[in-house]
Every structure is written in C-alpha cells, then in structure tokens.
A and B are shown apart, each in its own frame.
Chain A
Amino acid sequence: MEFRTVGSIEEALACLADVGDEAQVVAGGTDVMIQHMRREINPSLFLYIGNLCEMEGLTKNGSHAIGALTTHRHLATDPLVVAAFPALAEAASTVGSWQTQEVGTLGGNLCNASPAADTVAPLLIADAQVELRRASGVRRLPLDEFLLGRRSTARLPDELLTAVTARPPGERCGETYLKLGRRSAMEVAIAGLAVRLTFDAVGNVESAKVAACAVAPRAYRAVEAESVLEGSRLEEGTVAEAGRALVDSATPIDDARASASYRRHVLPGLLVRAVATCRERAVEQR
C-alpha cells in the first residue's frame, strides 16, 4: 500500500487517470482512515490531496463556488460563508467536534455519501451543483443527481470533486439547518432538516425548499412538503400538513441510535421549528 501526496490538481488528475480504480482519495481522512482501520476499504494507493490550497474557500465569481477542500471549521466560522449560506454554516458547526471540523472537508462529506452527512441537506436547498474534474475535462452535476444512495455517488474513479456551486438565499428569504442527536456534540444525526423559505411582499411563502437527512438512504428534497408550504402563510394547520407529507416521504431505518418510528415522530416538530426560524430570519434580513 502506498501513500502519495500531490502538489497540484493536474498531478492528482493524472494519477487518477492512471490508477483511479485502485486509489482512494484522502482529503481530511476523517472518514477514510476509519474505514481503513475497520478494514472496510483496502486500496493499494492513498492519494492525499490535502495540500491543494486552490481547492479551499468560498469564491464569488458570478456564482458562489466553495472549494471541495474547505474544512467544516472554515464553513462554520468564515463570515463570508455564514452570510451567504447560513444553513450550511450551521450544519458544518455541528459536525463532530472542533477537531473533526478542523480537518474534515466539504468534499469528503459529499463523496463519502453517508445518509447522515450534515452538509448535504443545506446544499440541496441551495440547488447545489458539484464540479467533477478529470484529466480529460470537467462536468457539472446537480448534487441531487450526484448522490445515488447510501455510500454511493456518480463520481467516476478518475474524477476529483473540485468545487460545489450553490445559490445563496435571496431577498425576503430565511434558511436554517436543524440537527437532532442525543448528545449536544460529537453526534451523528438521528435526523436532520434544512429548510429555506422565500416570502413574497405580503408574507406568503413564495418558494419552499425542504431537505431531510438521516431518515432515508440519502438526503433528499421533500417536494410534497414543499408544495404544501408554498403559497401558504405558514398557518399551524398547513405546517402540520407539511409535516405529515414530510413523514410520508421518509424511509428511515432502525439502528442503534434510534428507531425508525422515532425518526418519523420527530420530523413534524423539527419542521415547525425550522419554518419559524426561517420566517424570523427572512424578517431580520429585510
């Protein structure tokens, strides 16, 4: 087994073009090293990309692009990120501990494709696209299409995830991410919910985006719940109905952390809280 460090994206892509099939990309290593220790993976090459600083941070160049190597700590604390993507910043601030956040990256979180990955839901409500590069070119894919299922993505063996582009909330818009775990930190989500609501001038919901994680094989947009909320004024009954639609869309499992029925049970309550926060933030923003 070999551990190779690369100094440029081109070098990384050349290596992947050559031996992508046998290689495992390592960014922060917070998922990879554990999987290796548990003997879930046994690649012949670890390709360490953590030195590629051109893949770090938020750039505003027409659209908002976030480098795949941006750490959770960076997402949680950089004022630019906090202003542009409050839900993503919130999500990143709940990942593991400060130590995990300091090394774990956005790209790693997406490529690892855990059902409970915290950054996915806030990116789904921001219509995120991933940028995948290979020696022979680049392609962009909606995040929704990139994620195929539990631990499964559309990334090809010779591709590197280089950046994520996303749309920040606009005017009269508020968003939030709520994570439910038993402990107050160092916790994998039992359920997670990202909501972004945009209001029209008179306070009706113009557009609603709801994404849930840890209640299905992958995080997903709960479109039925969204359409219930859209056009409403968030009356108690409407939010409750959206909560029921959200529950219907979930396909949770029983595991050591919680039962499927518990996961279903908590979703409506989380939605009530999330929409209230969105409304507050939309008002503050004005």
Chain B
Amino acid sequence: MSGSVGKSVPRLDAEPKVRGEAVYGVDFELTGTLYAALVLSPVPSGRIIGIDTSAAAAQAGVRAVVTAEDAPDLRSGLALDDEPLFASDTVHYEGEPIAAVVADSLKAARRAVSDVIVNIEESPPVASLEAALTEGAPLVHENWETFAPVPGLPEWPRQGNVVGEMTADPGGVDEAFAGADHIVEDVFVADRQYQAYLEPKSATAIYEEDRYTIHVSHQYPWNVRSRTARALGVNPSRIRVIGHHMGGGFGARLDVGLEPYAALLARLVRAPVKLVFDRSEDLLTCNSRENAIIRIRSGVMNDGRIVAREFLCDMDCGAYATDTVFLISIPIFLAGSVYEVPSTRVVARAVYTNTTPTGAFRGVSGTYLNFALERHTDNLANTIAMDRREFRIRNLMDDGHRMLNGQILTDAGIMRTAFAEVEAVAPWADMGKGPNRGVGMAATLWLTNPAPGQVTLKLDVDGTLGVITGASEIGTGAVAMGVRQIAADELGIDPRDVIVTMPDTDVQGHDGGAQGSRTTHIVGRAVREAGTGLREQVVRAGARLLGELPDDVEIGDGHVSVKGEWNRRVTLAEVATQALYDVGPLVASGSYATPTPKYDPDTAVGLLFPTFPTPTYHVHIAEVEVDPDTGLVTVLRYVVVQEVGKAITPEGVIGQIQGGVAQGIGYALYEGLQIGEDGRYRQRTLEAYRVPIALDVPRVEAVLLEHPDEEGPHGAKGAAEPPIVPVAAAIGNAIADATGGAINRIPITPEDVLDALAENRED
C-alpha cells in the first residue's frame, strides 16, 4: 500500500453529522440534569443598585438563583485578569452576566430569568473607539490599574481605556518620509464579524468527588480547564473537560464561554447542570471579530519603490481584554512584509469600550489589516500611475526577508512563485474587463499556531490503530482525515482502521486546541514521533514471531514481513496479539511543539505575541461586477494560490479554501455587526445579521503550492485558517477598480458602491 497521505480519503464523521446522529455539545445530556439560564445585563453601562432574586427563586421548578455573592470573588482572563464571572456593582456591556437561574427544565429556567429584578442606574456608555480615545473620556474600568496580567505574562504598556499598546519604531522613519516623492495616507474602518457557527454555545457540568467534569464542544478543552480553574480559584487538575462533536467555532470557542458558569452551578446545586444559549444570546455575547480603525501612510518613489510607512491601528476589545489584547502584535508581522518597506513604524492599541468583549475569529485581525494594506497598495500604485500588479511585483519581498520583529523569512521568495501561478491561471490583463467590472489582488503571509500537542498510539489486537489525542475536530477534517491519515501511514494501514479519541483532559496530554491551522502540523508531527517508537516495537515483536532479527523484517500493507520474502509475513493483528503476552501492549507516545523562531525582542514594546511561526504564503485574485443601479456586487471569479507545505488531504485543504473565501465574502459584502450610539448591537438575530448563502459565493478556484516544511509531518504546514485573510482586500480592490471610487470600509455595502460610483462620476 502506497500510503494515504496526499490523497483524499473518506471522512468517517461525515455521515453521522449529515444524518443528524452525531451528538454535539448542545445535544449532550446527563441523567438528572438541571437546566440553567443567565440573567444578562439589559444595558451597556451602569451601576447595579440591587438584585432581587426572591420572585424568581419562588417560581415552581426553580432550584437556585445565583449571583456574584455565590461566586468566588475573583477576576480572571486570557491575558489580563479583569473579568469577574458575574457583575456585582457595575455592568460594562449589554449581555454581561449578572445572575444565573437553575431549574428543573430549560423553560422554567428561562421563565424565571425574567423574574430576577435587577435595578441598574444607567450611565452613558463608551460606545465607540473614538469615544473611548477622546481626551477625558469616561473610563470603562475605573479600577483598571488593579488588574494584573495572568501569571507568566509580563506587564505591557496600558493606560485607562487603552488596555494594550504595542509600538515598533526603528527610528529614521520620518527622515525616510521626507525623501519620498509622494506621501499617500488612508483611513480604513472595519465593523465586527460574528462567527455564526451552527451550534450555539453550551456546557454541561457535574461536580463529584470534589472535581468538576465539564462536557463541551470546544476548540480548546485544555484552555477550558485552565480558565475554569482560574475563574473558580482551584487547581487545573480539579477540572476535567470532555469534548463532543463541535458545530463550528472559528475562534469563538477558544476562550471559555459558559463552562465556568455550568461548573459553579453544578457545585452549588449538587446536580448536573446544562447551560445553553439561544441564538440571540449567543450573538449578543459572542466574542466576535473586533471592529478597528486603521490609519496608514506610506512614502513612495516615482520609480515604484515604497520607502517609508506608518501604520496605526486601534482595535476594540469591548469591555474586557480577552484575547484581543494579544492581537495588537499582529500588525508588526503584516505591515512590513509581503512588500519590502525599508522604514516602518507601527503602533497598535487595544481599547476598552462598553460593548461585548471581542476575541479570536479565523484570520485574527489579519482580515482587516490586509484589507487596509492591500487597498493602500492599490492607492500607492495609482498615485504614481503604475499598474497595480507590476507595482506589487516591483516591491515583493524575497528569500531572507527580515520582518519588523527581526524574524527572517528564509523562503519568502515563494511569494513570487505564487504571483506567477496566479498569472498562469487568471492572467491579469484578461481579468475585470467590461463595463462595471473590476479586478483586485491581495497577498499575505500567515502563521501556523505553534502550541504543543501530544499523541499516544496503540496497536490493538485486531490490527487497528488507536490514536489517543486531545486534538479537537472543529470541522476542518484535521483530525477526522489528516491526523488519521498520518497515523495510518505509520503502519501502512487503511485510514479506516484508525480510531481517534475525543478530547478528555484526564486522559490525554495537553493539546493546544483547534486554532491557527495547527492540528495537522503539530498533532500530525506528534503522531510521527509516536509512530517511530511504535514501529520499533512492532518490528521487534514481528521479528520474534517470524523467527528473524529485527533488521531483517519490515512493516507494510498491514503486515510485518521478512525483507525480500513477500510470502513470509504475519498480520499486525497477530503481532499485537502475540506481543500482548510476551512484552505487553504495543503503545508509544510522542509530543511536539514548534521551536520559537529567532527574533529580536528589542524591535518593539508591548509585543505579547512575538513571532510568526511556520509562515505560509497566499495570493488571491477576484473579479467582480457591480450593478450601477443597485450597488449589488457579484463575485464573478475567485482564484486562490496557497502555499501549504504539503497537502496531507488535498480535498480537505480545497474545502477549507472554499469555506474561508465564502466567510471572507460574507465579511466583505454581507455581514457587519454594528454598534449603535447606545452601545447596543444593531443586528441582534440571524435575520438581521446576514451571512452569505450558497448562491452568493462562486466556486473558488484553488491552486496548492507544495513546498515541504522541514518540521511538519510529511512537510505539512497550516492551511485552514488563512484563506479568509486576503478576501476582503481582493474584493475591495476589485470593487474600487470597477467603480473608480474609494472603498474604505468593511463591510462594503451597496450604498458604499453607489457612493464610489458617484464619486467617480464627479471626478
């Protein structure tokens, strides 16, 4: 058997998921479960004068009404310990939990929620980035100075509503600007984006033997463990997290959600407690992609060289720091890469507002950063009247490119290959021709998350291979296909004969979660480490069975055979069975974490996330048509060239590209979670918050560039996260080309398109 890596394989979890048989987190039930619902703040900002729980507690079927008084007096967070479980004296966003009700049924719990009387003295909310950053603006947290970074993280610059500031100023930037032929300045604004996964958030917990067991559908069970432990003030080993099938996450299930509440309530009522959000609660409280404002200024020469750049970015954290405060590092990796810009200054800030805390979403901050950079790149080319593609090629980085953090991209020249591949599939000169049509390009690099992973392989007596791993299958197929294929190839068996566990923090070693395209790369590599150990044992046991020396036998095709004698062989089942009583079960483990790339820590202040490991390279091109009467945009053609290291499952990678582009089209043209002046979301249901549907998305053409990575299993790098990153930029550039006007906002609405057309007519 020639191995399954590099081939598309059947996906075993597909059928139960399509049939509706798979048990997701929201479906999971324990015997005797009670149901909980949260009392969420109806206002974005105010002082809690009193909470009267008596009427709710008196309702039939209600077991407990819980407030901050019943919870540990602690604040915790992913980066900064600023968030309590329940608001006690002030509320900081609409939807902030104030109390919880536990009842015999979900219906009774929800009904009783409306009987909890919360008396809040409202205050005007800090509803926007502009408002939060105004001189003398009210502080979202008066006591911000008392918040401490989580243990292990150094302090970083923060002040008042600015919860984090990252500055990279190498010096000489102003002088470089002074020598430029032209200076171009742009401002870009991006709205929030809701992850809009199919399965709303939920958690079911039980408290037994002084330990909490939490059933979840979560991207990162080990983070649930540590975050719940810190929220409750107990050791992580007191928490056990068990994963179930997951209906998508896109980053929204990386930090904890309902899990600490379910755990606390289960202890307080001494019964299993299930907490599940309805869609509206989910949307209003979800850690959506942050809104942001980007100011970018570059100096360019008449010959096409970019010589200086200043990149300023403000990101809206919402009411708590969550993981958005980490993201202020990302601009440093993008603002000075793809194109050579010798002199670049970057300042990025994360800002508190009285709005729902934001957080990770596929392509974290990269989507709007790339939009700003690549829209700006078009503007630079247009300023010196150079063709936009030629301008890009002129400034493209090459092998050995030094990023602003000092990290060296040894293979950056792949970007040139990617541009050439795009040209081969979709020649620039042929795209976007005809009235109301336009073409746009965007290029980016992206990282593969380096977080550690661990795998144990066991050869079963029937010749199947067990993969015991804490990796989570988020839906990409990274576990269901990729990890399974890599494991199968270790013993030359059919991937269908590989059985993979669901995450259970009591059982497996730490896993860094389904994030940043890491699973195939990291867990796959851990499989290979474990495979080396297991193969050695199998060879020894097989040799013994065959009466040969280990050096004279080999593994292949589900057998151990004598080298050169094809007909002298034993099955893996026979080997495992015999070994059981000779040497014990055949089991081996492997661990892996990406080594931190070399970088220069002195290049920036406030860099919480200092490197961009295992980078991949991406070029997208979009052709659009705009309707001059309605401003509607049709994406006619969309081509992606993506460097993947090695495609373990080509169909899986192509599916992720199709999905990432669809989600990017949603971000660019349809979605957008807007915050009113009152600090509330304007879109509060999926009727108002509109994700694109199949008819709105073209069939995406994908070209996979294989360029095996030294560290990755079979050369694989991350692949699933980045296809969303350049989409808004490519489409924005195409629309700007079609209309001849400025496109500076995400989402790009039909009204923006009509404005751009009108602007062009006026010129």
Contacts and interface: CB of A to CB of B under 8 A. Distances in A.
Interface of A: 180, 182-188, 256-259, 262, 265-266, 268-270, 272-273
19 contacts: A180-B630, A182-B669, A182-B670, A183-B690, A183-B693, A183-B696, A185-B693, A187-B690, A188-B687, A256-B683, A262-B750, A262-B754, A266-B629, A268-B629, A269-B629, A269-B630, A270-B629, A270-B630, A272-B629
Contacts of B670: 182-183
Contacts of B688: 256-257
B227 to A, nearest CB: 33
Contacts of A256: 682-683, 688
Contacts, number: 44
Nearest to B683: A256
B751 A262 contact: yes
Contact of A184 (B628, B629, B693): B693
B138 interface: no
B729 to A, nearest CB: 21
A186 B693 contact: yes
A154 B692 CA distance: 37
A258 B32 CA distance: 48
B388 to A, nearest CB: 28
B271 interface: no
B632 interface: yes
B750 A182 contact: yes
B630 A184 contact: no
B665 to A, nearest CB: 11
Contacts of A187: 690
Given A256-B688, A262-B751, A262-B754, A185 B695 contact: yes
Secondary structure type dominating chain B contacts: loop
B682 A258 contact: no
User: Which 4 pairs, one residue from A and one from B, show the smallest C-beta to C-beta distance?
Assistant: A269-B629, A184-B695, A256-B688, A262-B751
Given A180-B632, A270-B630, 6 more contacts: A182-B670, A184-B695, A188-B687, A256-B682, A265-B754, A269-B628
Nearest to B688: A256
Interface string B601-640: 0000000000000000000000000001111100000000
A37 B693 CA distance: 24
Contacts of B754: 262, 265
A188 B693 CA distance: 14
Most buried by A among B629, B669, B695, B751: B629
Nearest to B278: A37
Interface string B672-703: 00000000001100011010110110000000
A183 B687 CA distance: 12
A259 B669 CA distance: 16
A249 B692 CA distance: 32
A270 B627 CA distance: 11
A31 to B, nearest CB: 12
Contacts of A185: 693, 695
A258 B688 CA distance: 11
B196 to A, nearest CB: 14
A199 B591 CA distance: 79
A152 B683 CA distance: 25
A164 B687 CA distance: 29
A267 to B, nearest CB: 10
B751 A182 contact: no
A68 B380 CA distance: 60
Interface string B38-75: 00000000000000000000000000000000000000
A184 B690 CA distance: 11
Contacts of B683: 256
Nearest to B685: A38
A120 B600 CA distance: 67
A109 B670 CA distance: 26
A139 B690 CA distance: 41
Contacts of A265: 754
A247 B726 CA distance: 39
B446 to A, nearest CB: 28
Contacts of A180: 630, 632
Contacts of A186: 693
A185 to B, nearest CB: 5
B407 to A, nearest CB: 41
Contacts of A273: 629
A184 B633 CA distance: 11
Contacts of B631: 262, 266
Contacts of A272: 629
Nearest to B754: A265
Nearest to B682: A256
B578 to A, nearest CB: 57
Nearest to B695: A184
B265 to A, nearest CB: 26
B692 A183 contact: yes
B142 to A, nearest CB: 33
A257 B695 CA distance: 19
B752 to A, nearest CB: 10
Nearest to B634: A184
B684 to A, nearest CB: 9
Nearest to B751: A262
Nearest to B692: A183
A262 B695 CA distance: 23
A105 B669 CA distance: 31
Contacts of A259: 751
A274 B377 CA distance: 40
Interface string B659-670: 000000000011
B281 to A, nearest CB: 14
A150 to B, nearest CB: 17
Interface in B741-763: 750-751, 754
A262 B750 CA distance: 9
Nearest to A191: B630
A51 B362 CA distance: 47
Most buried by B among A180, A259, A268, A270: A180
A29 B24 CA distance: 28
A257 B690 CA distance: 9
